[in-house]
């Protein structure tokens, strides 16, 4: 049954104003509904906090703080917040409804973007973040799932549910880490102060993903991914996708420096650098509506020097600074407290649920740092001071309440969740069995392109990692690799042809072929232009490498000898006794006609020794018709040489030549006289 049918808000008029029509997303902290604002007659997206969390004052404070922070923003690249209120147990935000798709969905569909397209997308994203930074707001959960692309090509940054005003950053609960581990800046993992430079780091990771089609760090657990952000540098994008310009590489590494001081100061400075590099790329991106206007000067930007030669890993990062130490070993992860974000159809599930198309490292998580302090209140031992105190009952009550709250918190954060079995590379039936045995329901089997998993094999599940016990899970099955249309490159320079194929996410290989065109001319591709081709298979660029070897078939052997003498080639002949071609005729050659001739190469030609000699049938006294049939059956051709007094089919053969034996297929000449009657005598 559709979950929407049983939803308590579906079909309800919330707060006397918002007519809820359908649920469009569900996350660990909130559910998103499509609704009609009956007062202003417009569609909105309602983000409603889960009822069990609405009873927690800290969560209520964070929820209302989200509305107050984001409502101050007014920018074309930011999803607007219209209203905030409560209706009984339901706390809600009324937000701009943006029909379209998330950047993550488009990225899954395309595999990766060209440098030009990736920079154009980042321009719109950074403009939205820059507006937030100017207002003192830090997003703290920048990722492709939180970027919407509208039908007309505009970008909007969504889900500032984890945003905090920079001035109030110190009031965040001690030991609480909120974010998506695939994009977390090191300082957010280690518990240091965060700010606009933290959003810059996440945006740099997102640019890496747009360019390469993958996240820089992956691991079996979220905590392992977080550890890599602290202790490892983000790789150079061109090390995974050759052909990315060095300036684009440097943009990524500058934004993802583990030392925040070496990053751009905020999204505005990063956006100016992106525009400057985008001007140098030059090629069209195929995207509309995502670029900002104009290119402002960078001013002093010590974190980016586009004229400096590329740095290796030994000099690309500082030896010390934040993030170089080990990760706090006391960190533990509690999945499912992420905010509901925006997704398919304008909104989708963010962390802990939702569309579930992402690996565990792409889900919004809450990480708690355990506090291990000891008593330090005075010299008198604790037991001596409190054992017989009249306040013991109060303490016991507080402890009991603490245990109860702890158990309740455990149930909300971990107890009601279970690990989803890893079914990658299994068959669909095996995956269905494994999920069912672990208490999950299989909602559906969904095809999804994959360049790494063979067609028909299971890629994984949606959601993955952990989910509520008994919840529905989608099995993702590979529908084969992403495909691209082979572009037309004939007549282009080789470098341009290779770039065109890489821009279509295809891998080029080069083959020199024989041609009378100038050496180096691109002749075409295998497969030909316009063919839909898997991205996992290479495309061969055919380039003129020199004159071709002629076609000697049907020519006398002397023709091959003359060509070999003129081109300093070695000619080797071999005889064939099984050919009907005349003696001395070339019937085959190696290399094949049209192949590239290499100086001094040996060309082998097969020469016919002539057809075999066979017996000629005795046909004297036969009619012309009978003689012709007999000769044809023996492999000869018959031709009448003299017909006497007329064209009479009953005329008799009185002589023929040659006699005895002759080459199969040769012509036998017949001498005839008019016959008498219907075949009787001379």
- Give me the active site residues, please: 141
The neighbour count for residue 402, using CB atoms within 10 Å, is 10
Residues in the chain: 682
Closest CA to 92 of 4, 161, 21, 11: 161
Tokens standing for residue 407: 């158990």
3-state DSSP helix/strand/coil % of the chain, to nearest 5: 30, 25, 45
- One DSSP character per residue, 516-544 reads SSPTT-EEEEESPTT-EEETTS-EEEEEE
Structure tokens at 526: 């295998």
DSSP letters, 646-658, are S--TTPEEEEEES
Strands 90-96 and 100-102: unpaired
- Residue 26 tokens read as 């569900």
309 contact partners, CB below 8 Å, separation of at least 6: none
CA–CA distance from 81 to each of 44, 163, 319 (Å)?
10, 13, 43
Q: Half-sphere exposure (CA, 13 Å, Cβ side) for 437?
A: 9
Q: Specify whether the CB–CB gap between 254 and 272 falls below 8 A.
A: no
Q: Give the CA radius of gyration of the chain.
A: 40
Q: Could you tell me the two tokens for 401?
A: 């309440």
Spatial distance between the Cα atoms of 121 and 154, rounded to a whole number of angstroms: 9
Measured CA to CA, the distance from residue 286 to residue 485 in angstroms comes to 15
- 625-642 burial string, b = 16+ CB within 10 Å, else e? ebbbebbeeebbebeeee
Q: Which of 529, 567, 563 is nearest to 546 (CA)?
A: 567
Structure letter (DSSP) for residue 77: T
The candidate with the shortest Cα–Cα distance to 179, out of 357, 414, 350, 356, is: 350
Phi-psi group of 433: left, alpha or beta (phi > 0 → left; psi -120 to 50 → alpha; rest → beta): alpha
The per-residue DSSP string of 578-608 comes to S--SPTTBEEEEESPTTPBP-TT-EEEEEEE
d(CA 357, CA 263): 31
């Amino acid at each position: 049954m559709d979950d929407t049918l049983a939803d308590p808000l579906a079909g309800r008029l919330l707060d006397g104003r918002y007519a809820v029509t359908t649920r469009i997303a569900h996350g660990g902290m909130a559910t998103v509904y499509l609704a009609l604002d009956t007062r202003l007659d417009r569609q909105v997206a309602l983000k409603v906090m889960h009822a069990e969390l609405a009873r927690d004052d800290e969560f209520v404070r964070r929820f209302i703080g989200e509305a107050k922070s984001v409502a101050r923003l007014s920018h074309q690249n930011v999803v607007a917040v219209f209203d905030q209120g409560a209706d009984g147990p339901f706390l809600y935000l009324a937000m701009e409804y943006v029909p379209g798709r998330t950047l993550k969905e488009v990225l899954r569909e395309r595999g990766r973007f060209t440098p030009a397209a990736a920079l154009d997308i980042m321009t719109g994203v950074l403009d939205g973040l820059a507006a937030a930074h100017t207002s003192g707001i830090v997003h703290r959960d920048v990722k492709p799932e939180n970027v919407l692309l509208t039908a007309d090509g505009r970008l909007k940054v969504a889900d500032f549910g984890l945003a905090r005003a920079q001035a109030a950053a110190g009031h965040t609960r001690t030991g609480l880490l909120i974010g998506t581990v695939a994009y977390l800046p090191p300082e957010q993992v280690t518990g240091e102060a965060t700010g606009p430079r933290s959003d810059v780091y996440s945006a740099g990771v997102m640019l890496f993903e747009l360019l390469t089609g993958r996240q820089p760090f992956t691991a079996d657990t979220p905590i392992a991914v977080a550890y890599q952000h602290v202790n490892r540098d983000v790789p150079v994008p061109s090390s995974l996708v050759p052909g990315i310009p060095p300036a684009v590489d440097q943009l990524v590494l500058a934004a993802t420096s583990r030392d925040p001081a070496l990053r751009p100061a905020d999204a505005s400075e990063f956006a100016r650098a992106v525009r400057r590099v985008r001007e140098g790329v030059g090629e069209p991106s195929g995207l509309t509506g995502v670029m900002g206007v104009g290119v402002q000067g960078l001013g002093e930007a010590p974190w980016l020097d586009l004229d400096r030669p590329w740095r290796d890993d030994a000099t690309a990062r500082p030896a010390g600074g934040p993030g170089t130490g080990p990760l706090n070993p006391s960190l533990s992860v509690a999945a499912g407290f992420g905010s509901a974000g925006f997704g398919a159809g304008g909104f989708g599930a963010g962390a802990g649920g939702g569309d579930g198309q992402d690996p565990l490292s792409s889900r919004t998580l809450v990480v708690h740092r355990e506090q291990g302090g000891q008593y330090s209140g005075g010299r008198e031992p604790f037991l001596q001071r409190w054992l017989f105190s009249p306040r013991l009952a109060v303490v016991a009550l507080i402890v009991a309440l603490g245990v109860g709250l702890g158990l309740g918190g455990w149930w909300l954060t971990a107890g009601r969740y279970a690990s989803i079995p890893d079914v990658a590379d299994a068959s669909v039936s095996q995956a269905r069995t494994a999920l069912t045995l672990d208490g999950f329901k299989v909602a559906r089997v969904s095809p999804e392109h994959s360049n790494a998993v063979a067609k028909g094999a299971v890629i994984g599940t949606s959601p993955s990692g952990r989910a509520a016990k008994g919840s529905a899970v989608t099995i993702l099955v590979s529908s084969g690799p992403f495909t691209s249309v082979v572009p037309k490159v004939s007549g282009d320079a080789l470098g341009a042809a290779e770039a065109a194929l890489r821009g279509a996410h295809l891998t080029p290989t080069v083959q020199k072929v024989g041609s009378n065109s100038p050496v180096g001319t691109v002749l075409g591709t295998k497969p030909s232009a316009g063919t839909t081709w898997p991205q996992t298979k290479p495309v061969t660029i055919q380039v003129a490498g020199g004159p071709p070897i002629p076609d000697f078939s049907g020519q006398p052997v002397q023709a091959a000898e003359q060509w070999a003498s003129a081109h300093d080639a070695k000619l080797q002949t071999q005889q064939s006794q099984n050919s009907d071609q005349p003696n001395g005729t070339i019937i085959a050659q190696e290399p094949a006609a049209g192949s590239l001739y290499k100086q001094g190469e040996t060309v082998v030609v097969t020469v016919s020794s002539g057809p075999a000699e066979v017996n000629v049938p005795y046909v004297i006294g036969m009619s012309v018709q009978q003689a012709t049939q007999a000769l044809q059956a023996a492999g000869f051709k018959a031709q009448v040489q003299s017909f006497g007094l007329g064209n009479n089919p009953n005329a008799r053969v009185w002589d023929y030549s040659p006699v005895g034996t002759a080459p199969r297929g040769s012509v036998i000449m017949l001498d005839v006289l008019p016959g008498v009657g219907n075949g009787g005598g001379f």
